[in-house]
Structure 1
Amino acid sequence: MSAWYDSSVFYHMYPLGMTGAPKENREEQTEGRFEQLDAWIPHIKELGASAIYIGPLFESTTHGYDTRNYRLVDRRLGTNEDLRKFVGLCHESGIRVVVDGVFNHTGREFFAFRDIQEKRDGSPYRDWYKNVNFWQGSPLGDSFTYEAWQGHYELAALNLRNPAVQDYLLSAVSFWVQEFDIDGIRLDCANVLDFDFMKALRSHCDRLKPEFWLMGEVIHGDYSRWANESMLHSVTNYELHKGLYSGHNDYNCFEIAHTIRRQSEQNGGIYRNINLYTFVDNHDEDRIMSKLKNKKHIATVYTMLFTLPGIPSIYYGSEWGIEGARTPYCDDMLRPAISPDQFSEYHTGLTDYIAKLARIHKAHPALCIGAYRELFLTNRQYAFCRSSENENIITAVNIDGGAADLSFSLPMGGSRAIDLLTGENMLIENNHLCLHLTGCESKILEIVG
């Protein structure tokens, strides 16, 4: 039996950006921006999402990943009570809530780091950070140095092998569940987190709340090192993310199919028992509409996102096809402020198409947890089957600008195919399917009879 997250469609919110919060947290007073976030909930539900990944949320100095208090909501957004209300409103709408867990590092204003600045080797927290050295200074003027995340000294790397640090962070997780009733955590920088810490976190969360979901940010490597029975339930599928946009830009469906065959093919895929978190853009990546050379490919990109193996996620604003590309010095254009008053102004045919895909995905277990089988493949056309115990769903896409005919045998019985996008019925003869697709068209077919 699958858990709630296996059949979810996620909506990714970056609250500091979408509410237009100040870039630096220097004011004493709390600003109430959660009313803006609350107003997104009906839109998210209408779009067909059943879970939200939102973050970072907790008190920080700048972008949210330089935490200074794990038990206090960032004052640029609101109060703990505001977050508690937001989660409650989501739950009332049937939407689960997953928050960012920034456990690899803290900001320099975190209490333990401040104590080391004041007391040096006399601080009881001197072993809370990696490679603290009191014999030389840091690039930021401290009388000691320490390990920083990727050389960014405003992000001091925690020593997760220290039992006191582990206990502190696990206690913070308990606080989040008890105070806010969250349903899971997305682990920032999971690729560099200590494995023993993640095992302790998994064990702790399994006891804390049934079906509590742990998903990690991992870009490269063997995803099964992190996503397994003893650590995380899932990780970010950056491999497929790359395949989706570059496979379209190069008119090379082989790249996409090879990725899925390697990951999920039922007789050999190395991650076929792991439901990876899939996406076409996020708060660290250029918007998919900016990445695509042919903007008409947006429909087939999203068709694949919602029908290939994985737990699909929509990044706020991309349901309207907005663009945004980072520069070497700034990510702000990836995280724009959007007022709920602008929803109707932004609404496009893409919005409706994504909502339809989300409803189809959630309604069909084969698309959530079904086995994958490739049926047809050329550079510009691709068809595959997702099969569960009682369902067979076939997706066929044509990424060429002109029309194409696909013809292939079916691995299962059936007399008819119903197009879940249009309601069209077509006959199946001798277990063979012939399809005509116009340029950049998709079909999602349920096999019946």
Structure 2
Amino acid sequence: MTDLAPSPHSIPWADHAIWWQVYPLGFVGADLSGERRPGTLHRLSRLLPWLDDLVALGANGLLLGPVFDSATHGYDTVDHLRIDPRLGGDADIDALLAACRERGIRVLFDGAFNHVGRAHPWWQEAVAAGPGSVAAGRFSTSPDAVEVDGLRVDVFEGHDALVVLDHEHPDVVALAGAVMAHWLERGIDGWRLDAAYAVPPAFWRACIDPLRARFADAWFVGEVIHGDYVAYVEESGLDSVTQYELWSAIRGAISSRNWFELAWSLKRHDEFSAAFLPLTFIGNHDVTRIASAIDDERHLGHAIAVLMFVAGTPSIYSGDERGLHAVKEERAGGDDAIRPEFPLSPTDWPGGPVFELYRQAIAFRRRHAWLAHARVTAEELSNEAVLLVATGRNGERAALALNLADEPRALGGAAIAPNAWEFRETP
């Protein structure tokens, strides 16, 4: 049986966090072409009217995408200590953080420390100094290195605009640690660490362990897609990683009307959540919108319900709660559709039925906070119908009945309507 003992990586407030993830450059309609506009555009304030909507949804965390000075899309960082002028300046970010604190909203920043953009001062210094220089030594070289600006260097996943740092270099460790500390001091609650899967786990431990004494309540989550999640958390010292396996299983099971896929993934999820608190999601800024990924709109609520029922800390990608549709495409600009500009006020994009589905599911999660560390098993399992049963550390129990069929099914001794889902207080 899965051990339900508390995780050694537990940060108590994270058990109650429900995140609303925002990609800020898209949200404010920033120009991502690389054509830099003169001056500072104070547009972070466009997020302020949406904070009350975040709270009305039932969330209490803002997972903020890249806000640092960058060349184009935010992950080609130029200066980790400067707010991107397309978003604003120090006063703008301070006002946003203050508004979040007033509402009890936790804030995570998104940090790219695997690579930097070619406009970063370190890279410019390395290009000027040339191969073999001290400056060039801050960047990674491997047998797969390519030539960029006259230097042999590793680039991130074939993108020569993103030059990879040497994570064994003391300057790189010092930079990441100093940047994390700077923004934690300014009032954020933790970090989402971009492309953590491409970074040796020892690097994160070297950066984060010294911060624990000063920021005991800070929460660190790494973007990890494949592999041994538990081992990565243990080796890296991170508190959490992104649960892409569950994301894939939820979408796949519903689209193919095959709950066996989810049942298998939940066994793995139990193992992960016994060791740490996974960051769970059904959508984010890198993937096709959930409303577009689910073939039958009647089944969108099933995905939302599963997200709010299983262990972990759930994240909702902004716009998903309004049922936005968009498909990610593998081409230049292929992320633009899933990262749209938002209106100035939430009233210009009424929530509607999908918003209410999220509110209903989040409300159940709030009433059963123990679900963050629950063990969930699939019972009465068939392709189109399943009863998920959650068991808490102290013997709490709840159930989620899910029916994808066009006819009623009996689950847990009670009928469930066609294409319906329902939470049950006790199985």
Per-residue CA distance 1:17-44 (angstroms, 9 max, x = gap):
0110111251230001111011211111
**Which amino acid is the alignment partner of residue 185 of structure 1?**
W
Question: SS of the residue aligned with 2:167?
Answer: coil
Aligned counterpart in structure 2 of residue 83 of structure 1, from 75, 79, 93: 93
Answering whether residue 403 of structure 2 is matched by residue 398 of structure 1, we say yes
Per-residue CA distance 1:78-109 (angstroms, 9 max, x = gap):
00221121111111111100010100000011
**How far apart are the structure 1 equivalents of 2:407 and 2:211?**
51
Aligned CA distance change for structure 1 residues 355 and 83 (closer, same or farther; 3 Å) = same
Answering whether residue 380 of structure 2 is matched by residue 371 of structure 1, we say no
**Which amino acid is the alignment partner of residue 71 of structure 1?**
L
**How far apart are the structure 2 equivalents of 1:202 and 1:305?**
29
**Which amino acid is the alignment partner of residue 447 of structure 1?**
T
TM-score of the superposition, structure 2-length normalised? 0.92
> Which has the larger Rg?
1
Per-residue CA distance 1:285-330 (angstroms, 9 max, x = gap):
0001111111111011100110022211110101011100022212
**Which amino acid is the alignment partner of residue 403 of structure 2?**
N
Aligned counterpart in structure 1 of residue 172 of structure 2, from 150, 165, 172: 165
**Which amino acid is the alignment partner of residue 304 of structure 1?**
V
Answering whether residue 135 of structure 2 is matched by residue 128 of structure 1, we say no
**How far apart are the structure 2 equivalents of 1:89 and 1:113?**
36
Question: SS of the residue aligned with 1:75?
Answer: coil
**How far apart are the structure 2 equivalents of 1:137 and 1:183?**
37
Farther-moved stretch of structure 1 (337-346 vs 68-77): 337-346
Aligned counterpart in structure 2 of residue 236 of structure 1, from 242, 248, 254: 242
Give the equivalent residue in structure 1 for 2:305: 303
Question: SS of the residue aligned with 2:265?
Answer: helix
Give the equivalent residue in structure 1 for 2:209: 203
**How far apart are the structure 1 equivalents of 2:237 and 2:21?**
23
Give the equivalent residue in structure 2 for 1:317: 319
Answering whether residue 17 of structure 2 is matched by residue 8 of structure 1, we say yes
Answering whether residue 105 of structure 2 is matched by residue 99 of structure 1, we say no
Give the equivalent residue in structure 2 for 1:144: 151
CA contact (8 A) 2:126 2:133 kept: yes
Question: SS of the residue aligned with 1:28?
Answer: coil
Give the unaligned 5+ runs of structure 2: 1-5
Aligned CA distance change for structure 1 residues 181 and 435 (closer, same or farther; 3 Å) = same
Question: SS of the residue aligned with 2:401?
Answer: strand
**How far apart are the structure 1 equivalents of 2:244 and 2:230?**
14
Question: SS of the residue aligned with 2:378?
Answer: strand
By how many angstroms is 1:368 displaced?
A: 1.6
Farther-moved stretch of structure 1 (379-388 vs 93-102): 379-388
Give the equivalent residue in structure 2 for 1:436: 415
Answering whether residue 233 of structure 2 is matched by residue 224 of structure 1, we say no
Per-residue CA distance 1:227-268 (angstroms, 9 max, x = gap):
23751111111111111111111110010011002331xxxx
**How far apart are the structure 2 equivalents of 1:301 and 1:401?**
17
Answering whether residue 393 of structure 2 is matched by residue 384 of structure 1, we say no
Give the equivalent residue in structure 2 for 1:446: 425
Percentage identity across aligned positions?
A: 29
**How far apart are the structure 2 equivalents of 1:447 and 1:405?**
16
Aligned CA distance change for structure 1 residues 299 and 132 (closer, same or farther; 3 Å) = closer
Give the equivalent residue in structure 1 for 2:124: 114
By how many angstroms is 1:405 displaced?
A: 1.3
Give the equivalent residue in structure 1 for 2:350: 346
Aligned CA distance change for structure 1 residues 229 and 85 (closer, same or farther; 3 Å) = farther
Give the unaligned 5+ runs of structure 1: 408-433
CA contact (8 A) 1:228 1:274 kept: no
Answering whether residue 206 of structure 2 is matched by residue 193 of structure 1, we say no
Farther-moved stretch of structure 1 (168-177 vs 119-128): 119-128
Give the equivalent residue in structure 1 for 2:280: 278
Question: SS of the residue aligned with 1:197?
Answer: helix
By how many angstroms is 1:137 displaced?
A: 8.0
Give the equivalent residue in structure 2 for 1:73: 83
CA contact (8 A) 2:50 2:345 kept: no
CA contact (8 A) 1:365 1:391 kept: no
Give the equivalent residue in structure 1 for 2:263: 257
**Which amino acid is the alignment partner of residue 54 of structure 1?**
L
**How far apart are the structure 2 equivalents of 1:390 and 1:285?**
36
Question: SS of the residue aligned with 2:410?
Answer: strand
By how many angstroms is 1:344 displaced?
A: 4.8
Q: Which has the higher contact order (CA 8 A, sep 6+)?
A: 2
**Which amino acid is the alignment partner of residue 220 of structure 1?**
H
CA contact (8 A) 1:366 1:393 kept: no
Give the equivalent residue in structure 2 for 1:62: 72
**How far apart are the structure 1 equivalents of 2:64 and 2:172?**
24
